[in-house]
Structure 1
Amino acid sequence: MTFDLFEDGRPESMGDGAVLLRAFAQAQATDLVEAIDVLAEVAPFRHLMTPGGKAMSAAMTNCGAQGWVSDRRGYRYEASDPATGKFWPAMPPTFHALAVRAAQATGYNGFDPDVCLINRYEPGAKMSLHQDRDEPDQSQPIVSVSLGLEAVFLWGGTERSSNVRKIILRHGDVFVFGGRSRLYFHGIAPLKAGDFPGVGQRRLNLTFRRVAPI
């Protein structure tokens, strides 16, 4: 593994259509965190079950036209929250605008996300290497926003066995990937303990995607 840490705030190419935007969302981070807490009152965070029957260590919820869910039936998107039977809460306009702006800043014009996965990591939580491949149109990029505690992002390649780079993601950083990197394996190393001002002992992650055909 190699370790990457960029400090100067410039967009950093991660290769093959992936770009890291340091502190891109920092100016509106407080509003984003407050909005997440409001959304979680409507659609609470929960630890989803993998098809193999294991609970995910990161808790999650959704907002937007559909939500990503997982259980013994598999991974999929559904228009309503299985826990309540209600539609997922609407995506806040500020969320949508941020995702569009980040996509444009990295050369992905025309991105119109209709779903946002919200992950909550607490100390020790992680995300194993995986591909984001449940979206029908994989020509659309993914925009990922980091809030709260610092995380080690694992950035691989087209195979699970590909070499993995370790990239520090901090409060307000945005990672955009599409094109050839759209199906790269990626994950989050176990989160270290800490207490981030205004966010607490957690890392929040907004992941914007397009699910419905354009």
Structure 2
Amino acid sequence: MAAGIDRIHAAGMIHRDIKPGNVLVDGDDVRVSDLGYCAILDDHGTASPNGTWQTVAPEAASGNRCSIASDVYSLGATAFFTYSGEYPVSTYMGLEDQVARIKAGHLRELRDLAPHVPQSVANVIRKALQLDPKDRHQSADEFGNALVGAMEGRRDWSRISHAGHVLCVRGERFKTKASVVICGEPDGPNVRLIARHQASNRRVQGLSDRVVPHDRVPTELRTIVATLS
């Protein structure tokens, strides 16, 4: 995705509407779509503002000029959604409140919503979402390379859904490690975290179930993921 946006930038344009709905995935093939809002950069490297609220950069939300840094922000917001299934600002609040938070840079922490995400990955995405454009990655390519580097040597984790469960994640097979699933199952007022091998559904040896309050689920899940990574 970042490589495709970088090609648009190399042609002297910016996309201005990067979001999950404009990313087409076919296996390992990822393409950027909907170039209708692409704009040619002026001599100062800027263009008029545009975008979708959930992924728009603060400067564009404030009606200021867009730049390559604005697309980098939108890439970060799209990556945030890819890892967590939610946007940096909750869409459950009113649009006026959403916009105010975007403009002020008051964003949620990725690992609070997606505890399976490594801190190194969260740091890369957080940098892309900085309020000041100068504090973000300097190009889409830099962002993409930083994200790949943050995942190097690690098991890939993704969020999955199981009916009736609170929060579940899957760790893909990595080197000699088999694929695993961690499920958060309701246990009275608490949540029981269970780690199983995906193929056999057997519990992971050495990892006993953990029964924790709902507000402790992200912290405990991060600990289990770190152990199994």
Q: Please confirm whether the aligned pair reaches a TM-score higher than 0.5, indicating the same fold.
A: no
Structure 2-normalised TM-score?
Answer: 0.24
Tell me which of the two structures has the higher relative contact order, counting C-alpha pairs closer than 8 angstroms and 6 or more residues apart.
Answer: 1
In proportion to residue count, which structure has more helix? 2
Higher gyration radius (CA): 2
